[in-house]
Amino acid sequence: MANHKSAMKRDRQSKVRRLRNRMNKSRMKTAIRQVEEALVAGSEEEAHKALAKAVPIIQKTAAKGTIHRKAASRKVSRLTRRVNRMQPLG
Protein backbone atom coordinates (compact mmCIF):
# COMPACT_ATOMS: atom_id res chain seq x y z
CA MET A 1 0.00 0.00 0.00
CA ALA A 2 1.22 3.49 -0.81
CA ASN A 3 2.47 5.58 2.12
CA HIS A 4 3.62 8.84 0.53
CA LYS A 5 1.13 11.48 -0.53
CA SER A 6 2.29 11.38 -4.15
CA ALA A 7 2.16 7.58 -4.22
CA MET A 8 -1.40 7.61 -2.89
CA LYS A 9 -2.43 10.07 -5.59
CA ARG A 10 -0.74 7.92 -8.24
CA ASP A 11 -2.68 4.91 -6.92
CA ARG A 12 -5.99 6.81 -7.18
CA GLN A 13 -5.17 7.94 -10.72
CA SER A 14 -4.23 4.40 -11.74
CA LYS A 15 -7.53 3.02 -10.47
CA VAL A 16 -9.54 5.65 -12.38
CA ARG A 17 -7.56 5.03 -15.57
CA ARG A 18 -7.88 1.26 -15.24
CA LEU A 19 -11.67 1.53 -14.94
CA ARG A 20 -11.85 3.94 -17.88
CA ASN A 21 -9.69 1.67 -20.04
CA ARG A 22 -11.79 -1.34 -19.04
CA MET A 23 -14.98 0.49 -20.03
CA ASN A 24 -13.54 1.50 -23.41
CA LYS A 25 -12.19 -1.97 -24.13
CA SER A 26 -15.49 -3.59 -23.14
CA ARG A 27 -17.40 -1.27 -25.47
CA MET A 28 -15.02 -2.15 -28.29
CA LYS A 29 -15.30 -5.88 -27.68
CA THR A 30 -19.11 -5.66 -27.69
CA ALA A 31 -19.04 -3.87 -31.05
CA ILE A 32 -16.72 -6.53 -32.48
CA ARG A 33 -18.93 -9.31 -31.10
CA GLN A 34 -21.97 -7.79 -32.81
CA VAL A 35 -20.16 -7.91 -36.17
CA GLU A 36 -19.16 -11.53 -35.57
CA GLU A 37 -22.72 -12.48 -34.60
CA ALA A 38 -24.02 -10.93 -37.83
CA LEU A 39 -21.41 -12.93 -39.77
CA VAL A 40 -22.41 -16.18 -38.07
CA ALA A 41 -26.08 -15.42 -38.75
CA GLY A 42 -25.19 -14.93 -42.42
CA SER A 43 -26.89 -11.54 -42.57
CA GLU A 44 -24.86 -9.45 -45.00
CA GLU A 45 -26.77 -6.23 -44.39
CA GLU A 46 -26.56 -6.57 -40.60
CA ALA A 47 -22.83 -7.32 -40.84
CA HIS A 48 -22.23 -4.12 -42.82
CA LYS A 49 -24.28 -2.06 -40.34
CA ALA A 50 -22.46 -3.56 -37.36
CA LEU A 51 -19.10 -2.97 -39.03
CA ALA A 52 -20.00 0.68 -39.71
CA LYS A 53 -20.75 1.09 -35.99
CA ALA A 54 -17.71 -0.89 -34.81
CA VAL A 55 -15.00 0.90 -36.82
CA PRO A 56 -15.37 4.33 -35.13
CA ILE A 57 -15.60 2.69 -31.71
CA ILE A 58 -12.34 0.80 -32.32
CA GLN A 59 -10.64 3.96 -33.59
CA LYS A 60 -11.83 5.98 -30.58
CA THR A 61 -10.49 3.29 -28.25
CA ALA A 62 -7.08 3.69 -29.89
CA ALA A 63 -7.30 7.49 -29.83
CA LYS A 64 -7.89 7.38 -26.07
CA GLY A 65 -4.75 5.24 -25.68
CA THR A 66 -6.52 2.13 -24.39
CA ILE A 67 -5.13 0.05 -27.26
CA HIS A 68 -2.29 0.76 -29.66
CA ARG A 69 -3.24 2.48 -32.93
CA LYS A 70 -1.76 -0.33 -35.00
CA ALA A 71 -3.72 -2.91 -33.00
CA ALA A 72 -6.87 -0.93 -33.76
CA SER A 73 -5.96 -0.78 -37.44
CA ARG A 74 -5.37 -4.53 -37.48
CA LYS A 75 -8.74 -5.22 -35.85
CA VAL A 76 -10.56 -2.97 -38.34
CA SER A 77 -8.73 -4.57 -41.27
CA ARG A 78 -9.51 -8.13 -40.20
CA LEU A 79 -13.17 -7.37 -39.51
CA THR A 80 -13.54 -5.57 -42.85
CA ARG A 81 -11.96 -8.48 -44.72
CA ARG A 82 -14.31 -10.95 -43.05
CA VAL A 83 -17.37 -8.87 -43.90
CA ASN A 84 -16.23 -8.32 -47.49
CA ARG A 85 -15.56 -12.03 -48.02
CA MET A 86 -19.18 -12.63 -47.18
CA GLN A 87 -20.21 -10.68 -50.27
CA PRO A 88 -20.59 -12.56 -53.54
CA LEU A 89 -18.21 -11.32 -56.23
CA GLY A 90 -19.63 -9.23 -59.06
CATH H-level superfamily of 5-86:
Ribosomal protein S20 (1.20.58.110)
pTM beyond 0.75: the answer is yes
Q: Give the pLDDT mean for 63-80.
A: 97
Q: Which of these ranges, 1-5, 27-31, 47-51, 75-79, has the smallest mean pLDDT?
A: 1-5
Confidence band for 89, pLDDT divided at 50, 70 and 90: low
- DSSP characters over 21-79: HHHHHHHHHHHHHHHHHHHHHT-HHHHHHHHHHHHHHHHHHHHTTSS-HHHHHHHHHHH
Confidence band for 90, pLDDT divided at 50, 70 and 90: very low
Tell me the per-residue pLDDT of 45-57, one tens digit each, with 9 for 90 and over. Answer: 999 999 999 999 9
Indicate the domain borders of the chain.
5-86
Tell me the per-residue pLDDT of 20-44, one tens digit each, with 9 for 90 and over. Answer: 999 999 999 999 999 999 999 988 9
Evaluate whether 54 touches 29 at the Cβ level (below 8 Å): no
Distance CA 14, CA 41 (A): 40
